[in-house]
Amino acid sequence: MNKYKLLTGMQDFLPEETKNWQYIENIFYDWINSYAYESIRTPILEATRLFVRSVGEETDVVGKEMYTFQDVSEEEVSLRPEGTVSTLRAVVEHSYLYSGPKKLWYYGPMFRRERPQKGRYRQFHQFGVEALGFSGPDIDAEIILMCFDLWKRLGLSNDVQLEINTLGNYEERQNYKQHLVKYLQKNKKLLDEDSLRRLNTNPLRILDTKNPELQEICNQAPRLIDFLGEESKSFYETLKMMLDALEIPFYENYRLVRGLDYYNHTVFEWTTKQLGSQGTVCAGGRYNGLIRELGGNDADGVGFAIGMERIILLMKTLGCLEFSNNIDFYVISQSEKCLIEAMKYATILRSHHYSVYTHFGGQKIGTQFKKANASGAKYAMVIGESELENNTITFKDLREEKGQETIKSEDMLCFLEKWMN
Ligand code: ATP
Ligand code: MG
């Protein structure tokens, strides 16, 4: 029996999996560079109070899901449950907005101690974007456009849809909350345990419930949009007009509230029907006021985070992640001396950007060829005793199209340039 096991909700990624990750990460890097966003990296561990204050004490994330423990220095620390707050902490700490607005991205593991299920883990990865110091709604439209473009690049356009809503400003939301709570109090008998708890702590989140029995009562609830002032309404209307002009289809979901306290005005989610109740692959919104709350100037902000595990699950479900190996040469050698000579040639090939796998273990040539075929490599490079003696190299096309050639070793690069094209 294995002595050591993964902790609940944690995952290992073996090479069959990391291949998928790298494929997607490369698309992400191209994509984010094409929008000229810059990368920021912050620690995984932060002071607990940072998240408590800004994500909100009454949210699920802070209230139930954080990995919090005491550091030896007695300070309470937490593994970050999300990326926005640490990003803003860093930006404020380094007065980074002093020189003007910034467009930033981050990527890395986040930690939430929730019940693990398909698409829900305790360590998961987010790719996030934060546009800081822009008051919108044009930048809100751009970051939604960015997502829309990314789905195209990943081949997911037909399988995700955009839901948007507005949360208005703080005062409008407070006023609305009172009306919502009054309505829900009247229907208290119909609420479930989770909602009863939220009634006193985070009533808006009740609207986000996944319990099918609560759908009707939530649909009938007063709508936040009806409590908005002119300014908030016009911000939202302009955003919708811009999305229309950019030809980005969206649904208005009046019940979309998001789980974290810091959002206001624009909120949005990209969802898919392919992943059951873990259907949100990307979520974001505007958080005016948060930078100030963290001690910075009064700069606005808007951003989103993409759940990498869910993107990968979705792409697997759709069959978009089937790759062959991309090894160019598999090195086969007949003796230790031959192997050392082959390693020199392999180094030259690698410096010319070929991918070369060297066989070790001194097996028979026939066995090595079997392994070469199974590896998915395109060509075998063979150094036997006769090659060693004559300063030659034999190349064999493992897909049998070009046969086999033995050439002078000094001609290797010239020969390959012609032979491989
Ligand atoms: P959900 O309603 O699914 O719990 P959330 O509102 O808690 O999502 P956010 O905090 O907005 O999620 O995080 C942004 C994205 O990160 C989510 O849309 C999802 O794709 C991903 N995500 C969040 N929590 C997890 C998790 N535990 N495991 C895997 N991915 C997650
Ligand atoms: Mg959650």
Cα–Cα dist 259/216, whole Å = 21
pLDDT at 259: 67
Q: Using one digit for the tens of pLDDT, what is the confidence trace for 185-194?
A: 999 888 998 8
Cα(307) to ligand 1 centroid in Å equals 6
Is 281's C-beta closer than 6 angstroms to any atom of ligand 1? yes
User: Residue type at 139?
Assistant: I
The ranges of the chain annotated as CATH 3.40.50.800 are 329-419
pLDDT at 176: 93
Q: Residue 341 phi/psi, 5° resolution? A: -65, -45
Cα(120) to ligand 1 centroid in Å equals 8
Q: Which residue has the higher pLDDT, 210 or 310?
A: 310
Cα(234) to ligand 1 centroid in Å equals 29
Lookup result for tokens 């999305």: 243
- Ligand 1 atom with minimal separation from the 277 CA: 3
Strand, coil or helix: 346: helix
Q: How far from each other are the two terminal CA atoms of the chain, in whole angstroms?
A: 51
Q: Using one digit for the tens of pLDDT, what is the confidence trace for 240-256?
A: 999 999 999 999 999 89
Residues 391-401 have a mean pLDDT of 93
Question: Angle between the 170-186 and 193-201 helix axes, to the nearest 10 degrees?
Answer: 140
What pTM value is reported for the model?
0.91
pLDDT at 129: 98
Q: Which residue has the higher pLDDT, 74 or 100?
A: 100
Q: Using one digit for the tens of pLDDT, what is the confidence trace for 327-364?
A: 999 999 999 999 999 999 999 999 999 999 999 998 89
pLDDT at 325: 79
Protein residue with least CA distance to atom 11, ligand 1: 283
Cα(243) to ligand 1 centroid in Å equals 24
pLDDT at 182: 94
User: Residue type at 206?
Assistant: I
Cα–Cα dist 369/330, whole Å = 9
pLDDT at 323: 79
Cα–Cα dist 83/379, whole Å = 44
Share of the chain above pLDDT 70, in %: 99
pLDDT band at 314; cut points 50, 70, 90:
very high
345 phi-psi bin (left φ>0, alpha ψ -120 to 50, beta other)? alpha
Protein residue with least CA distance to atom 4, ligand 1: 278
Q: Is the pLDDT of residue 88 over 80?
A: yes
Q: Architecture of domain 329-419 in CATH?
A: 3-Layer(aba) Sandwich (3.40)
The ranges of the chain annotated as CATH 3.30.930.10 are 15-168+228-317
Is 56's C-beta closer than 6 angstroms to any atom of ligand 1? no
Residues 256-261 have a mean pLDDT of 77
Is 83's C-beta closer than 6 angstroms to any atom of ligand 1? no
Q: Which residue has the higher pLDDT, 26 or 202?
A: 26
* 56: number of Cβ within 10 Å: 19
Q: Is the pLDDT of residue 108 over 90?
A: yes
Cα(338) to ligand 1 centroid in Å equals 54
In this structure, is the dihedral angle defined by the CA atoms of residues 331, 337, 340 and 344, taken in order, positive or negative? negative
CATH class of 15-168+228-317: alpha beta
Cis peptide upstream of residue 101 (ω within 30 degrees of 0): no
Cα(259) to ligand 2 centroid in Å equals 7
- Ligand 1 atom with minimal separation from the 126 CA: 16
- Candidates 279, 262, 259; CA nearest to 270 is 279
Using CA atoms, how far residue 97 sits from 44, 222, 259, in Å, is: 22, 39, 27
Residues 254-275 have a mean pLDDT of 89
